[in-house]
Amino acid sequence: MDSNPIAWWEIASHDAEKTVAFLKKVFNWQMVYDETTGCFDFPIPKGQSKLSGGGVFTLRKAKLPFLTMYVQVEDIEKKAELIEQSGGHIVEPPFFISDGTRICLFNEPSGVTLAMIEKSL
């Protein structure tokens, strides 16, 4: 793996439809609603970036809107341990989202929330 690239981003909004309409109007971004995830997906054509895409969704658990980057890792459990050993905090331990893909939300030492993603092969 190429030194843990950013693989995904997402915006948690108070109103995803309004946010998507704004992004479409200002940047001409074409986003498609995925009913299975409840997220508006922003696909990136293969070969144009190491990113697999991004998404916008309406807040569920969090109280404030946020933007998160997902760092792709090979061993999410080991990275979660390293985060804690390095002064970070695990917000949501590794869990499965689909097709064997796992994510983990964490805060770096100053409190900024980031995420990791481990995709099954």
Q: What pLDDT sits at residue 48?
A: 56
4 found inside a domain: no
* pLDDT in the model for residue 43: 73
Distance between CA atoms of residues 37 and 51, nearest Å: 18
Residue 23 CB-half CA count within 13 A: 20
Q: Strand locations in 52-100, DSSP E?
A: 53-58, 66-72, 89-98
CATH code (residue 79): 3.10.180.10
φ, ψ at 11 (rounded to 5°): -115, 125
User: Is the Cα torsion angle 36, 30, 6, 64 positive or negative in sign?
Assistant: negative
Give the domain CATH number at 21.
3.30.1900
Q: Cα–Cα distance between 66 and 49 in angstroms, integer?
A: 23
List of the chain residues with pLDDT < 70: 1-2, 44-53, 121
Q: How far apart are CA 32 and CA 3, in angstroms?
A: 30
76 touches 102 (CB < 8 A): yes
Domain span at 17: 9-69
